[in-house]
Amino acid sequence: MKKLILISATFMISCSINKKNEENQNSTEVEINSKNDNQEIAPLNREDDSIMRHYIYIANLNNEIPEGNPYIEDIESIKNIDRPSRSYIKESTFSTSNLFGVWGRENEPVSDFRIDAKTFDAADYFGNGNMPYIIYKDSIIIFYNDFISKGKIVYNSSDSLAIKWKANEEDYIQGYSRWK
């Protein structure tokens, strides 16, 4: 009987410590408050964290970029993928004030995308170019309508951004400048 009481007490203490750790961890998690244009960042709740982790898992299963021009238009032959209803940011390695903005390839006169608290907006996209995204630490996952684009943010400052994109089985680093 003493062993059963000791096991129960140990289990209760362990659960209490885990709950405290989760509460402390939740205080550093963030979500995008899309109801406010001021790009407010608020703590993530447990359900939002689960949803975000689900879509990160889905993205890690999918490495194929479809043929054609999927970065600028929906591919009619491909059924639209399951996407999160909004964007998420958690434990970003980089300041969102440096990440948010309009970006174009270095030495190019046009922009490629705009990223803000709500969406990743693909420039010159035929159709709805507003894509939900996830930033987790230094990783960025863009949920286009027909596919998922994954990258690692390798550098970011107020006027420069470099992302190592994974396209099919190839990795490449693309440099961007803040578009003015």
Per-residue pLDDT tens over the stretch 1-54: 444 443 444 444 444 434 434 433 333 333 444 333 345 555 577 777 777 776
Q: Tell me the residue range of the domain where 173 lies.
A: 2-178
Largest CA distance in the chain: 77
pTM: 0.67
Amino acid at position 110, single letter: V
Number of domains in the chain: 1
Per-residue b or e along 40-76, where b marks 16 or more CB atoms closer than 10 Å to that residue's CB: ebeebeeebbebbeebbebbeeeeebeeeebbebbbe
163 close to 152: Cβ distance less than 8 angstroms = yes
CA angle, 174 as apex, 170 and 175 as ends, to 5°?
165
pLDDT in tens, 115-171: 999 999 988 777 778 899 999 999 999 998 888 889 999 999 999 999 999 877 788
CA distance 109 to 153: 22
160 close to 176: Cβ distance less than 8 angstroms = yes
